[in-house]
Amino acid sequence: MTIFHIGIDLGTSRTSITTSTGRRLTTITCVGYPKDVISRKRFGKEYLLGSEALENRLALDMIWPLAEGVICEDEKASEATGIILKHIITEALPEKKETDHIYAAIGVPAQASIKNKKAILEITTDFIKKVLIVSEAFAVAYSIDRFDECLIVDIGAGTTDLCRMHGSIPEKEDQATLKAAGNFLDHELTKAISEEFPDVQLTPQIIKRIKEKHGYVSNVSDPVEVTLTSRGIPSPYDITDILRESCLKLTDPICKAIQDLVGTFDPDFQEKLRNNIIIAGGGSRLRGIDTAVERSLQEYGGGSAVCVQDAEHCGSVGALKMCMEMPEAYWEKI
């Protein structure tokens, strides 16, 4: 019998896994069920996953089980989460035999409810032998070995998790979860573009592509010109200012939360905290977000923020590291 260790970052938009065998995979957190008999016959499957589901979404009922950052409270969402986890594990560990066991750590938003954590335990019972549920932001800190005074800001799609580290497990007051995250930015950007150019045709995928390619909060940027269609006719549109204003709507509440966490910390360590801000998650790819955070801390005496190198796998790598460093005697407790 072999024991495989895995770390999973169960995200609203993407789910990542890192395994003790050295594999890292990412899939889009969605499941598509055929809408009717015709589509069922066309696909020949009960469901489609990830990018394949997204590409065929017109013929599918799409389920985004973690749309709000945590597992939605319905049976379909639980089932879809189980399907995604099971398949990403199967794909990442093709060598696993039936007699082998999996020990896993799964990252969830810092302030996920007990009900939500229990839901994950229930879903994974059949295919994971031992599971640890950990805060996503804490997993990021663990991946980079930062337990001393630092502030982790994990900007995901459904939630932004902030976690103040001070050498031990963070308490409730050290953590904050905001709804201002990637999906919120998508919504704001859609609204702003539609107001400025009422006739353009937008879909969540178009908005996501624009955001991921051009999103920025710096004071200067090259002009952002994108091709959008109006009644099927493609034309170039300049969205430089719209994009920045929308992105600032995301970063402003995050900066405010950072100020709050810094301001309520032990005054002797505030300076150290201000100078050790680590930004992770998909949102860390917004150009200029580190300097925007630093700017917001000017009246507090300045600060220093850096973005993690591997935004996509940082959380799952931390979760795996935790699993692999967990002494066997501790595992035996569960």
Q: Is 146 in the site for another protein (CB under 8 A)?
A: no
According to DSSP, the residues that pair with 151 across neighbouring strands are 164, 277
- By the rule CB under 8 A, 125 interacts with another protein: yes
Q: How far apart are CA 305 and CA 155, in angstroms?
A: 14
Helix (H) or strand (E) holding 76: helix 75-92
Using an 8 Å Cβ cutoff, are 60 and 69 in contact? no
Please, which residue, 272 or 295, has the CB nearer to another protein? 272
Backbone CA torsion sign across 4, 7, 13, 14: negative
- List the interface residues with another protein, window 249-308 (CB under 8 A): none
By CB under 8 A, is residue 173 in contact with another protein?
no
**Closest distance of CB 328 from another protein, Å:** 7
Smallest distance from another protein to CB 20, Å = 6
Of the candidates 26, 78, 111, 259, which one interacts with another protein according to CB under 8 A? Answer: 26
In the complex, least distance from residue 175 CB atom to another protein, rounded to whole angstroms: 13
Neighbours of 209 (CB within 10 A): 12
Question: By C-beta, is 195 or 328 nearer to another protein?
Answer: 328
User: Which residue shows structure tokens 């920025």?
Assistant: 216
Which CB sits closer to another protein, 96 or 187?
A: 96
**DSSP code of 216?**
B
Is residue 129 close enough to count as binding another protein by CB under 8 A?
yes
Hey, how many other C-beta atoms are within 10 angstroms of the C-beta on 272? 15
Residue number, 3 or 202, with CB nearest to another protein: 3
CA distance 130 to 124: 9
74 binds another protein (CB under 8 A): no
Site string for another protein, 31-70 (x = CB under 8 A): ------------x-xxxxxxxx------------------
**Among the listed residues 157, 159, 255, 251, the one whose alpha carbon sits nearest the alpha carbon of residue 207:** 157
Q: Considering the complex, state which of residue 291 and residue 309 has its C-beta at the smaller distance from another protein.
A: 309
Q: Which two tokens stand for residue 293?
A: 């955070």
How big is the chain, counted in residues?
334
Q: Pick from 67, 132, 192, 226: which binds another protein (CB under 8 A)?
A: 132
| Among 75, 70, 73, 68, residue whose Cα is nearest residue 33 | 75
Element (H, E) at 150: strand 150-155
**With CB under 8 A as the contact rule, which of the stretches 123-131, 196-204, 242-250, 276-284 interacts with another protein?**
123-131
The token pair that represents 128 in the structure block? 């994971």
Closer to another protein by CB, 192 or 326: give it.
326
Binding-site ranges for another protein (CB under 8 A): 3, 5, 18-28, 43, 45-52, 87-88, 90-91, 94, 114, 117-118, 121-122, 125-126, 129-134, 147, 167-169, 313, 317, 320, 322, 324-328, 330-331, 333-334
